[in-house]
Amino acid sequence: MAASKTAARRPTVTRTRSGPSSSRRPSPRCDSGLLAWTPGRSDPHLDGEASRRRAVTFDVEASRTVPYTVEQVWAVLDGFSDVAEWSTSIHRSWPEGDGPSTGLGAERGCELLPGRIVHERIVAYEPQAIMRVEVMRSEGLPIGSMISDYIVEADGPTSTRVSGKASLELKLPPVLLKALQTRLDTKLAERIEQAFADLEVEIERRMGPSP
């Protein structure tokens, strides 16, 4: 019911993306590309180990205006290790490390699909304004590095603009990279957009329909 109400409001969504610079479960449609990559004997998991594979960087951006206040939006985003409770792109999530549960230095693990895991840390944090998340290492994914910014800004007295920016470096064999790069930037932007749509549904579930 919440999702249908959300769709009826037709929130503003914008997306920009740039291709390579040299470079509650995920739907099959969104799992092509990066998540479908399967390492072989010559392509071990890239979890911080050195790699001879070609590194290519993708930069993507997406934003969405939701009919809730900055405080209401941040209350959901700030549950750092609870993201799997509302994001359909994440299979499960959990807190890691001995640091805080949120804020600077907080750590979490996110399993996107079974065996596809990223370990993340908040590296910049301003309450009700911005959260920067860095992937420290990954399992089952060809990620060299990734940094994501989540920004919330008031858009009127009762609306908030939520923006996401991600810079992702992938390390892949050249043949595989050529096959994937034309669709990867689109898929990455779609995942950010889907996360913001899920965020709005979760806020509505907690707070009720917006006025």
CATH numeric code, 2-207? 3.30.530.20
Residue type, 173: P
Query: Across-strand partners of 66?
Result: 160
- Given pLDDT bands bounded at 50, 70 and 90, which one contains residue 1? very low
Nearest to 180 by CA among 23, 18, 5: 23
- Give tens-digit pLDDT for 140-197: 998 999 999 999 999 999 999 999 999 999 887 777 776 676 677 788 888 899 999 9
Q: Where are the domains of the chain?
A: 2-207
* Cα torsion 86, 91, 94, 100: sign: negative
- Given pLDDT bands bounded at 50, 70 and 90, which one contains residue 52? low
**Measured between alpha carbons, how far is 50 from 48 in angstroms, rounded to an integer?**
7
Widest CA span in the chain: 56
pTM of the model: 0.74
Percent of the chain whose predicted confidence (pLDDT) is above 90: 59
Using CA atoms, how far residue 167 sits from 5, 24, 133, 141, 189, in Å, is 32, 25, 11, 15, 11
Token pair of 17, please? Answer: 């993306």
The whole-chain average pLDDT of the chain stands at 80
